[in-house]
Amino acid sequence: MNLEQFPKKVRIVEVGARDGLQNEKSVIDTADKVEFIKKLADAGHQSIEVTSFVRPDRIAQMSDAKELFPLVKKIIDPDKTQLICLVPNLKGLELASELGVKDVAVFTATSDSFNLKNINATVSQSFDRIEPVIEKALASGMRVRGYVSTAFGCPYEGAMDPRKAGLVAQRLDQMGCHEISIGDTIGTGTPYSVHKVLDEVLKSVSQEKVALHFHDTRGMAVANVMAGLERGIAHYDSSAGGLGGCPYAKGATGNVGTEDLIYLFHTFGIDCGVDLDKQCVSSLYMLEKLEKYTTSKFLQAYLNGKMKIYMPSPKDF
């Protein structure tokens, strides 16, 4: 462990309200989503993924995007918290633009099979769609985040060649994305593959533009973040309480819990700007609405009254 390679500060991109909720069956009231996002911003989050401008009939949980965004925008200080919205196409971008969205995200994957099932386009075809979206977004002064899904493994193709993640990331970078989030969509990544994928991605994309997005399906996510820290990566996606994954449901593949990452960062003395106690309260607010238990082990410990025991930091050693 070479602490000198570690970033001094990290930023969490809280994806619970979008990537998390999108994978939850119970559809949450718009007002409850607004309150959830407000709590997350109050906890100190600099970046919150708010919603996705998809066709309302495609994903029920995201069908209130048009109503939700203005309500959130009204109460969140844009200088403190970046509000990110997914836009799958030009129609989504147009809507986002009308509503005054400043940060959009586009997505593709490294796997043709996954992309075909998900967005009915090969990886190459997806770039034909994304390119005009990015161009138009940049022209209207927005910032664009790019997602690279299935970078570590694909449910249909299995292991993915890390060079594919490198090439997709490079292309998103060249198109003008200010940040590229490398995603372990199905949670098969491990520290070994994280290093291999970063070897490829960092060949063309500069370190400060790279974010990592892990799902904790097989319990590797925190170790994967450690691998990212060792490579100097400073941006990590996570979801409040591990929203999106359910320990009881078939097909559970939730994002790593934000609480687990804040705890990890804290113990290294790395500042992420988010208050852990407030984060727990925010997560529990939404988990209660969903009537579900958390997949975040830290939040489980918190619920068991164990957080107060002590929070070790480097000065303790």
Per-residue contact flags (x/-) with a second copy for residues 136 to 155, judged by CB under 8 A: ----------------xx-x
* Tokens (6 digits) for 120: 């009915």
Residue 191 is a binding residue for a second copy (CB under 8 A): yes
Least gap, CB of 42 to a second copy (angstroms): 23
Residue 117 is a binding residue for a second copy (CB under 8 A): no
Per-residue contact flags (x/-) with a second copy for residues 170 to 189, judged by CB under 8 A: ----------------xxx-
- Residue 52: which H helix or E strand, with range? strand 47-52
Residue 49 is a binding residue for a second copy (CB under 8 A): no
Per-residue contact flags (x/-) with a second copy for residues 246 to 265, judged by CB under 8 A: -xxxxxxx---x--x--xx-
Least gap, CB of 71 to a second copy (angstroms): 33
Report whether 255 contacts 295 (CB < 8 A). Answer: no
Please report where in the chains the tokens 């994309």 appear, as a residue.
205
Helices (H), the chain: 21-22, 30-42, 65-75, 90-98, 112-119, 123-139, 162-174, 191-204, 221-230, 258-267, 276-290, 297-303
Least gap, CB of 260 to a second copy (angstroms): 4
Residue 195 is a binding residue for a second copy (CB under 8 A): yes
Catalytic residue among 85, 177, 246, 280: 246
Residue 246 is among the residues annotated as catalytic for this protein: yes
- Those residues whose C-beta lies under 8 Å from the C-beta of residue 66, and which sit 6 or more positions away, are 53, 95, 99
Return d(Cα 262, Cα 265) in angstroms, integer: 5
- Those residues whose C-beta lies under 8 Å from the C-beta of residue 64, and which sit 6 or more positions away, are 30, 33, 51
Give the residue with the Cβ less far from a second copy, 119 or 303.
303
Number of residues that bind a second copy (CB under 8 A): 57
* Tokens (6 digits) for 168: 């997709």
**In 3D, which of 14, 237, 259, 22 has the Cα closest to residue 147?**
237
- Those residues whose C-beta lies under 8 Å from the C-beta of residue 229, and which sit 6 or more positions away, are 5, 6, 7, 10, 268, 270
Give the residue with the Cβ less far from a second copy, 116 or 138.
116
Q: Which range binds a second copy by CB under 8 A, 19-27, 88-96, 98-106, 191-199?
A: 191-199
Least gap, CB of 276 to a second copy (angstroms): 11
Residues annotated as catalytic are 246
Residues that bind a second copy (CB under 8 A): 1, 152-153, 155, 158-159, 161-162, 186-188, 190-193, 195-196, 216-220, 222-223, 225-227, 230, 247-253, 257, 260, 263-264, 267-268, 293, 295-298, 300-301, 304-306, 309-310, 312, 314, 316-317
